[in-house]
């Protein structure tokens, strides 16, 4: 199956709507997309103001994870996008 950019955004949007904070690694596991694809998508969503980013507090060695959450405009965008897709196939 060939996945277009819109299909990728729909899959990621559904996952972001269903969770409060999510990391890139978690999203890769949930969706099956490669890390580079999720990373590029998050950068675009951050530029558009659809996600906010925070660094996870860590008390062990290693780089802290970035956690992502939808902003109010991101929730509105993805709710419309996902809702429109479900209406189309009814």
Tokens 């925070």 -> residue: 54
Report yes or no: 20 and 29 within 8 Å, Cβ to Cβ: no
- Give the pLDDT confidence score for residue 5 in this predicted structure: 63
Over residues 1-10, the pLDDT tens digits come to 445 666 778 8
- What's 37's domain CATH number? 1.10.10.10
Over residues 55-87, the pLDDT tens digits come to 887 777 777 888 999 999 999 998 888 776 544
Query: Can you list the alpha helix ranges (DSSP code H) found in the chain?
Result: 5-18, 24-31, 35-48, 72-88
Residue 72 lies in a domain: yes
pTM equals 0.74
pLDDT of residue 11 exceeding 50, the answer is yes
Domain housing 49: 15-88
Residue 6 lies in a domain: no
Percent of the chain scored above 70 by pLDDT? 86
């Amino acid at each position: 199956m060939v996945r277009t950019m819109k299909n990728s955004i729909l899959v990621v949007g559904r996952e972001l709507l269903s969770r409060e904070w999510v990391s890139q690694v978690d999203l890769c596991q949930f969706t099956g997309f490669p890390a580079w694809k999720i990373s590029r998508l998050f950068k675009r969503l951050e530029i558009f103001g659809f996600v906010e980013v925070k660094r996870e507090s860590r008390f062990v060695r290693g780089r802290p994870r970035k956690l992502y959450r939808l902003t109010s405009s991101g929730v509105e965008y993805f709710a419309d996008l996902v809702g429109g897709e479900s209406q189309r196939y009814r």
